[in-house]
Amino acid sequence: MAYKLVFIDDNMREGNDNPFVRSIGKLKKEAEISVFTDPEIGLKFVLDNLNSKMIVFVDCKFDGYGLQGINILKQIREQTSLLYIVMMSANAISQIAGLDIIEMINEDYIWFFDRNNGTVMDACNLIEKIRKLWTTRFDCVLEEWIIRHPEDADKYAYREVGGKSYKWSEMLVELRHQTAIGKIFEGMVNDYYIYQLIKSEENNG
Amino acid sequence: MDKNGSLKWRFDVSTFRLIGRDLITDRVTALFELVKNCYDANADEVTVLFENVGLGKTNSSIYIKDDGIGMSFADIRDKWMVIGTSNKRSNPLTPEPYKRKCVGEKGIGRFAVDKLGDKVNIITKQEKAEQWLSVEIDWEAYYNQSTINEEIKLFTDIENHYEFYDADELNAHGTTLKITNVREIWLEEDINRFVSEASKLVSPLANMSYPMTIKVVAPEYNIEKLATKSLDDVNIATIYFSLGFDAQGKTQDAAYFNEDTGKIDVRSIPMKSFGGIKMKVYFFDEAARRRYRKDFPNNQIDGIKIYRDNIITTPFAENESEDDKKRDVLGIDKRLWMNIFDRVSTREIIGVVEITKEGNPMIIDATNRQDFVDNEQYRELKEFIITQLDSIENFKKYIRKEKRKKSNNTLESAGDEIQNFISSVESIAQKNPNLKDSLAPVVEQAKKTGNVVKTAIKEKKEAEEEFARKENIYMSIMSLQEYAIHITHAIRTTLNKIRDRIEYFNMFFPDPSEEEIFKRYAKEMYFEFLNANKVIDYMLSYSQSNLKPEDIALDETIREIFLEYKPLFISNGIIPDVVIPEKIMLRNTRRQFFRDILQNLLDNSIKAVKDAEKKIIRCSVVVGRDQLEILLSDTGNGIPADKREWVFGIYNTTTQEQGGAGIGLYIVKTRVDSLKGKVSVVDSEFGTIGTTIKIELPFKK
């Protein structure tokens, strides 16, 4: 299952040749890796690719840039709450401003990676942990389905009364962006299956 | 709705008495409460007119007339006439666009009317209402009812007459309270006391876009004056600066502290990405703060606010009535990098930044109304505002120094004066030998006092030295903490880089297809070690023996360093130019400090000229009578005018792209400070391009 690994860190000037990134790339061959040293450009890339499956590693501190790790987190969260974000820091966590820590804790799907003590293997384990979560998440299950049944991608999933119609592939985008329609649809599908399971159990019984 | 009818009070006697009569005991306070209501009603102007209120006069009245938002019939019925309904508590701000912080308390102002007179006539109208509403209330009637006839407990039976009459002007609005049968006599002194109280109502700095003026008129005493203070009256601020901009010339004013004049001056810089802004900042030292609190008890010194098109913006949590909960979104109190003695906090300044929708389109309100949208322009605006505070911080530093100097001078001149006194008394005694005996005890006493003063001067000097020593220790602990954070970060980053590469070797070596990468990583590790060594060398320079004082030939030292840099100059295509007209011997100084200063300046210049067409680095020394001036100039990309002070702060750099870490000029500044000199960025010797750094050092030829 292909996915994107994005690193935004002003110290990774070597790009994909950065040893940390390169090591991960060799161990996670299925991942498509991008490295950004300029936080603005990195953020733009992430926001332009929200409909891909993606894990973003973000450095907390960017020397000399206005945009800091916490700002990137906030700006991504303004667009979607689904994306997995790994905040990285070479500073002790106690040196991070209290308010920033609170902002991080209060977000879903966020991890912290200690660049001083964490090894490449630790980073890979974290990636695996996140990927396991993908197997149960609705948007990921749908993506898997479309990959296995490409003929279903253009079938209609949902029609608004007197409004727009959505194909399954389009609905996937709505889900990834956490739009109102994406959220409503996910809730409805879940309700529907619970109802169906109960019904079928009653019929069987 | 009836056009003419009656209104009833909807509360009982005991509540009325408790709140109305017993709470407001003083007529000045009562009147003041009514004026507060005018302020909360967004009035621009209030007139308080006293007529026939003096001793032995009849037909007395007090008018309180405002041009505020006025009241509707429903307002009077449901709010004005019902006790305990105060919409001020749930909404601490007055309606848009004024957004004043409400000053009236718990809605008791209306009962103050009772304190002042027996009858009140309320005439009020809201904008666009077609009619004025007039309500007449006779307090005497209530009072009689509640005392004489004890069976009647409620006012609900008492009717208040009201009527509507057509308005000439649809846009007129406001409220007039006409109080007649004034209960107590008002002497000239009472009215003046009211003027003085009313002037404390609101500081002209509290909401600069919408000030309110209070006019007090009492013809019988020939009083006609304004009871509000204007901006001109608020000269209680210790220092202030005002910045504007030139939209056509695309320049922005920026503040800086001029050490020669002891004042904050303004200079023009190119306009910033956020557009032109107007900014005023008033700084209050401790004495000024005390005075401000006394003059304006309703207002606080509460930092910098941003107004857009004259309307205060919400991002600063103005909706939060508790001051401690307000968010310091500009980050004024969060700054680490300034030392604690001179750092300016939001409790010491009142400031206003004026922006406009048209002129500053990229400063956008965030959807949560708690801040502006985090974009490059807003970040630059925040940085600009904070940089302006540097001028006040430098002023504070200057004042501290001056104060010390002044008290020393006073003591020393007292010592001299005693000496003068003794010699004049002695010369009198000489001229008049018959006085000698009687003057002897005076001389004796004066000599004793003189000795005491001398001892005092000595002790003060010692105490000062002790204080300076302690301050230095404190500062070095403070800076050590910052320094430790920065140095450990630098070393850690280097170690992490090396660790990542070693880890790569450990996991993937050998692999012939990766040969080039392994080689590259090995080389990089080597350079990282060199980097780490550089940082450690600088740390160690503090413990080196070459910090000991010695005599040095400055011209030779400078030439020596330029010689050491020769290979670097050649490889970068830089033309060095050293202009030192004579031999300069410096006594008892520290060679290493000069090396640190020059090396760091040269390193910066080399980075700065990297992309320059013509690359020149020039060092010149001018020897004055009691001052030495070292100028180091380059033809590089220059330092923006507004960053001339900022660049000396640790980790502040304008050469980030060229690998500048912002530590060089910080070292230069600390070294020049230790040499008791001054370093500054001045206009470039090369004209429109490049940078010139000027170092002034005390020097005796």
In 3-state terms chain A splits into helix, strand, coil percentages (rounded to 5) of 50, 20, 30
* pLDDT score for B132: 93
CA B266 and chain centroid, separation:
16
Is A20 a residue whose pLDDT tops 60?
yes
Is residue B210 a contact partner of residue B100, using CB atoms and an 8 Å limit?
yes
* pLDDT score for B309: 75
Is B534 a residue whose pLDDT tops 70?
no
Is residue B659 a contact partner of residue B592, using CB atoms and an 8 Å limit?
no
Nearest to B374 among A20, A23, A71 (CB): A71
Higher-confidence residue of B219 and B295: namely B219
Region B126-141: mean pLDDT is: 85
State the Cα–Cα distance between residues B22 and B457, nearest whole angstrom.
59
* pLDDT score for B665: 85
Integer distance in angstroms from the first to the last C-alpha of chain B?
96
Is residue B186 a contact partner of residue B27, using CB atoms and an 8 Å limit?
yes
Is B486 a residue whose pLDDT tops 50?
yes
Q: Could B485 and A26 be called an inter-chain contact, meaning their C-beta atoms sit closer than 8 Å?
A: no
Is B323 a residue whose pLDDT tops 60?
no
Region B395-415: mean pLDDT is: 83
Is B538 a residue whose pLDDT tops 70?
no
- Residue B182: exposure state from Cβ atoms within 10 A (0-12, 13-18, ≥19): buried
The ranges of chain A annotated as CATH 3.40.50.2300 are 3-134
Is A128 a residue whose pLDDT tops 90?
yes
Region B472-496: mean pLDDT is: 69
Measured CA to CA in angstroms, residue B168 lies from B46, B64, B72, B132, B391 at distances of 21, 21, 17, 9, 54
Q: Using CB atoms and an 8 Å cut-off, which of residues 383-412 of chain B contact chain A? A: 383
Q: Could B496 and A95 be called an inter-chain contact, meaning their C-beta atoms sit closer than 8 Å?
A: no
Residues in chain B: 701
State the Cα–Cα distance between residues B95 and B443, nearest whole angstrom.
74
Is residue A5 a contact partner of residue A31, using CB atoms and an 8 Å limit?
yes
Q: Mean pLDDT over all residues of chain A?
A: 88
Is B337 a residue whose pLDDT tops 50?
no
Q: Which of A30-39, A143-152, B115-124 has the highest mean pLDDT?
A: A30-39
Assigned token pair, B460: 């003060």
* pLDDT score for B221: 92
Single-letter amino acid code for the residue at B399: I
CATH 3.40.50.2300 fits A3-134, yes or no: yes
State the Cα–Cα distance between residues B483 and B475, nearest whole angstrom.
11
pTM comes to 0.48
Taking residue B633's Cβ as centre, other Cβ atoms within 10 Å add up to 22
Instruction: Name the helix (H) or strand (E) containing A34.
Output: strand A31-36
Under the banding of pLDDT at 50, 70 and 90, the label for residue B322 is very low
State the Cα–Cα distance between residues B336 and B334, nearest whole angstrom.
6
Is B319 a residue whose pLDDT tops 50?
no
Q: Using CB atoms and an 8 Å cut-off, which of residues 484-503 of chain B contact chain A? A: 485, 489, 492-493, 496-497, 500-501, 503
Nearest to B489 among A22, A64, A90 (CB): A90
Helices (H), B5-152: 13-16, 27-40, 73-75, 87-90, 109-116, 139-148
* pLDDT score for B688: 87
Q: Could A17 and B497 be called an inter-chain contact, meaning their C-beta atoms sit closer than 8 Å?
A: no
Collect all residues with Cβ–Cβ distance below 8 Å to B440 and sequence separation of at least 6: B429
pLDDT in tens, B681-698: 999 999 889 999 999 998
Under the banding of pLDDT at 50, 70 and 90, the label for residue A144 is confident
Q: Is B515 on the interface with A (CB under 8 A)?
A: no
- Distance (Å) from the alpha carbon of B521 to chain A's nearest alpha carbon: 8
Region B324-342: mean pLDDT is: 59
* pLDDT score for A124: 96
